[in-house]
Amino acid sequence: MQSLDKNQLDAYMARIGVADHPALSPEGLAAVQDAHRRAIPFENLDVRLGKGVSLEPEAIFEKLVAGRRGGYCFEHNGLHLRVLAAWGFRARPLLARVWLRAEGVPPRTHQLSLVNVADGDWIADVGFGAGHAPPMKLEPGQITSADGARHTLARDSEHGWMLLRDAVPQYSFTENQVWHSDLIQSNYWCMSAPTSRFVRSVVVSRLVEDELVSLLDTRLTQGGNAVDLTDAGRYREVLADIFGITLSRENIAALRLFPT
């Protein structure tokens, strides 16, 4: 795994508001994951704008760090793996099947990370837009609370491991080796398949305090309330003020969410 160089690592730490290198421990891993989720939003705007998503490491860095944008799982967790490598963590990618709102057995379209620390293997995930589970030790029955929900890790007889949020299956995964070509294939499906959620909808989310604030097309969910945004100007303000994403008026129009 190619790590970030010193200048890139400094820029990433400034982006997420972390001043010191974390301890190579579950606590250090959790602190960095939390800071990442608060600073860098989850979003698929480039898919909806027809730009596609590059998994080239430098393209991801330029977008999420230098360009102060967000991205989806392959971008977030791809960047995070490079960060972990630069700090000295041992980590590798895993692929998961997203069961939330799935019909039948879903394809493997989500990337997370397997991280080895002193007391064993942990999963870490800075790029799941529908929830935020802190790092969890890879053991059955692990439970943690975050984003206003209870997250549980369980064994699954057919699919290896299952992560649940308030008892609802979120995604399943195995510990099988994942190669870069696997990630390329999964990313291509996500940004081009007609049935992909990221092709059909705009999805944006960010961890704010202990709540996952989300935007699905024009519906903003925050503080337990959902409101529909009714004009492009307000939509652009919400992207900037809540999610830290600045798009031009032309790009907002190109999302085709509002009448022109």
129-139 pLDDT tens trace: 999 999 999 99
Known catalytic residue at 125: yes
Which parts of the chain register pLDDT below 50? Answer: none
This prediction's pTM:
0.97
Known catalytic residue at 110: yes
Q: Compute the mean pLDDT over every residue in the chain, rounded to the nearest whole number.
A: 96
Catalytic residue (choose from 73, 76, 132, 151):
73
Q: Tokens for 196?
A: 């992909």
pLDDT at 260: 77
pLDDT at 2: 77
Buried b (16+ CB within 10 A) or exposed e, 168-200: ebbbbbeeeebeeeebeebbeebbeeeebbbee
pLDDT at 1: 64
DSSP 13-68: HHHHT--SPPPSSHHHHHHHHHHHHHHS-EE-HHHHTT------HHHHHIIIIIS-
Catalytic residue (choose from 36, 46, 76, 125):
125
Q: How many CB atoms lie within 10 A of CB 237?
A: 12
pLDDT at 113: 98
